[in-house]
């Protein structure tokens, strides 16, 4: 099966490299490709990683019509618009969302957006602990691929360094990938503000509880959150400066200027999740405190005090 990756940020580029290193014919499309075709690497987003011979930089997005499988590596908050703009190209294709988050406008995850925008397409989600530089370097990881009847897709997308596990729980997989970014911002804030490793561990644990509550209300399988796309990705994202969301939180905690030009999916997702929690009357205090700090409604000190002063309860 032929494969194309749409979106040449660091992660999309890394996936294309990993897939092509196995000799597959892989297309990589970017809205602004720059010198990728001539340089044979993504000098702006993922420098230092040469493109395998079987990786082709697509000149125009219409070229994806020859592909059976299309990986969508566009930012979450642009996914709905991107699909609406190009829906005719994606009819009857397998669309694999590689973005993580909740759309702020609709409150939907990537699988639901695919289903609404491209009803004839087969939606899938690829998620789990994965940094672009590690994947491009050929370092090993394991990810979750969520899709109904996904055995053929699992075989098509597995590579020498990416081991894929199947799941039929699209909602659970997309929620794990989305909400771990919110917790990562909170953990970055805690470390950046000097609150210590114990505080980070507590935030990860209670953040995981929030993820489970949210997933249950959305109809996900609770076991999914204990897998690679939930607990696995949460562990990685909350403990490494390679994580854009964690680094964003670190800058907030330090009081440093926030990084510009970097996609931080957890910002919009925190707001979308908090809006849903309020309307559904479920407790998600960490997500809500992240929003309050981002919107400058509370200082970090006030947010910590608010979390610590909540009514005592059983775990």
Binding-site residue numbers are 7-12, 31, 100, 128, 130, 132, 180, 233, 243-245, 265
Strands 26-29 and 3-6, by their bridges, are parallel
Indicate the annotated binding residues for NADPH.
11, 31, 100, 132, 244, 265
- Exposure of 47 by Cβ count < 10 A (0-12 exposed, 13-18 middle, 19+ buried)? exposed
CA angle 238, 142, 48 (to 5 degrees): 75
Strands 122-127 and 69-72, by their bridges, are unpaired
Terminal-to-terminal C-alpha distance of the chain: 48
Catalytic residue among 78, 93, 160, 180: 180
Q: Is 78 a catalytic residue?
A: no
In total, the chain counts a number of residues equal to 315
Indicate the annotated binding residues for NAD(+).
7-12, 132, 244
Q: Cα dihedral sign for 272, 274, 275, 280?
A: positive
Indicate the annotated binding residues for sn-glycerol 3-phosphate.
100, 128, 130, 180, 233, 243-245
> Is there a contact between 230 and 181 (Cβ–Cβ < 8 Å)?
no
* Chain mean position to CA 231: 14
Indicate the annotated binding residues for substrate.
100, 244-245
Query: How far apart are the C-alpha atoms of 290 and 62, rounded to whole Å?
Result: 40
Looking up tokens 């926030």, which residue turns up?
258
Reading across the β-sheet that carries 162-167, which strands appear in turn?
Answer: 55-57, 26-29, 3-6, 69-72, 94-97, 122-127, 141-146, 162-167
> Is there a contact between 250 and 241 (Cβ–Cβ < 8 Å)?
yes
Tell me 227's DSSP state.
S
Query: Which residues are part of the catalytic machinery?
Result: 180
């Amino acid at each position: 099966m032929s494969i194309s990756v749409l979106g040449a940020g660091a992660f999309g580029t890394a996936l294309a490299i990993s897939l092509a290193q196995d000799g597959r014919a892989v297309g990589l499309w970017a809205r602004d490709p720059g010198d990728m075709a001539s340089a044979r690497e993504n000098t702006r987003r993922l420098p230092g990683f040469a493109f395998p011979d079987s990786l082709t930089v697509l000149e125009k997005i219409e070229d994806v019509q020859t592909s059976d499988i299309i990986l969508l590596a566009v930012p979450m908050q642009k996914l709905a618009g991107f699909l609406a703009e190009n829906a005719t190209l994606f009819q009857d294709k397998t669309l694999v969302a590689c973005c993580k988050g909740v759309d702020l406008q609709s409150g939907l995850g990537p699988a639901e957006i695919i289903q609404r925008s491209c009803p004839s397409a087969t939606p899938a989600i690829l998620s789990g602990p994965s940094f672009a530089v590690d994947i491009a370097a050929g370092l090993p990881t394991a990810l979750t691929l969520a899709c109904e009847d996904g055995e053929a897709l699992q075989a098509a997308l597995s590579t020498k360094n990416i081991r894929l596990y199947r799941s039929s729980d699209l909602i659970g997989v997309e929620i794990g990938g989305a909400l771990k970014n919110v917790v990562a911002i909170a953990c970055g804030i805690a470390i950046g503000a000097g609150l210590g490793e114990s505080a980070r561990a507590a935030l990860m644990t209670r953040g995981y509880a929030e993820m489970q509550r949210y997933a249950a209300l959305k109809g996900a399988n609770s076991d999914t959150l204990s897998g690679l796309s939930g607990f696995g990705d949460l562990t990685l994202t909350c403990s490494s400066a390679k994580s854009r969301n964690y680094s964003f939180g670190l800058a907030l905690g330090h009081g440093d200027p926030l990084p510009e030009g970097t996609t931080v999916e957890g910002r919009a997702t925190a707001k979308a999740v908090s809006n849903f929690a309020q309307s559904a009357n479920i407790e998600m205090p960490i997500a809500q405190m992240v929003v309050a700090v981002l919107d400058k409604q509370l200082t970090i000190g006030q947010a910590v005090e608010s979390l610590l002063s909540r009514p005592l309860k059983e775990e």
